[in-house]
Amino acid sequence: MAIRAAGVMNMLKDIAQKEVDTATEALAEAMKIADEAKSKYDLLVEYRNDYSKSLQQSLEMGIGALAYQNFQGFFRKLDQAVKGQFEMLVSAQHHVLVQKKRWKESQRKKLSYDVLEQRDVEKQTKVANKKEQLMMDEFAMRATRHAKQ
C-alpha cells in the first residue's frame, strides 16, 4: 500500500474506531436506562401486590364502602402507573436492540478495515519476500558465474 493509501486506511480505521466507541457508549447508556426502567416496573408491581394483600386483609376484617372506593381508585391509578412503566420498559428494551444493532454494524465495519489492512500487509510481505528471493537468486547466479571464471 502506498504511503498515501496507508494514511487513508489509518484515517478510515480511526473513524471506524470512534464509531465503535460511540456505539458502545450509546449501548451502555441504553442498557442502563432499560435496567432502571425494569427496576421501577418491578418495584411498582411489588408495591401493587403488597397493596393488594393489604386490601385483602382489610376486606377480611371488614371495611367501609368509602374506604373500599378509595382502595379501588388507588388501584386504578396504580394500574395506570404499572402500565405506563411497562410501556417505558418496552421502549427502553427496543432502544437497547437498536443500539446493539448499531454497535454490531460499527464493529463489522471496523473489522472489515482490519481485514483489508491485514491482507495488504500480507501482500506487501509476499512482494518483499519475492524481491528478496530474486536478489538471492541473482546473487547466487553471479557467485556461480564468478566461481566458473
The answer to whether the beta carbons of residues 82 and 52 sit under 8 Å apart is: no
92 backbone dihedrals φ, ψ, rounded to 5°: -65, -40
CA angle 36, 99, 40 (to 5 degrees): 10
**CATH (domain of 25):** 1.10.287.1700
The answer to whether the beta carbons of residues 99 and 25 sit under 8 Å apart is: no
Instruction: Please provide the average confidence, as pLDDT, over all residues in the chain.
Output: 91
Tens digit of pLDDT for each residue in 21-69?
999 999 999 999 999 999 999 999 999 999 999 889 988 888 888 998 9
Boundaries of domain holding 51: 3-148
What local confidence, expressed as pLDDT, does residue 112 receive? 92
The answer to whether the beta carbons of residues 40 and 85 sit under 8 Å apart is: yes
Tens digit of pLDDT for each residue in 74-119?
999 999 999 999 999 999 999 999 999 999 999 999 999 989 888 8
Q: What domain count does the chain have?
A: 1
What local confidence, expressed as pLDDT, does residue 98 receive? 98
CA angle 20, 39, 44 (to 5 degrees): 150
**What string of DSSP letters covers 43-60?**
HHHHHHHHHHHHHHHHHH
What local confidence, expressed as pLDDT, does residue 64 receive? 87
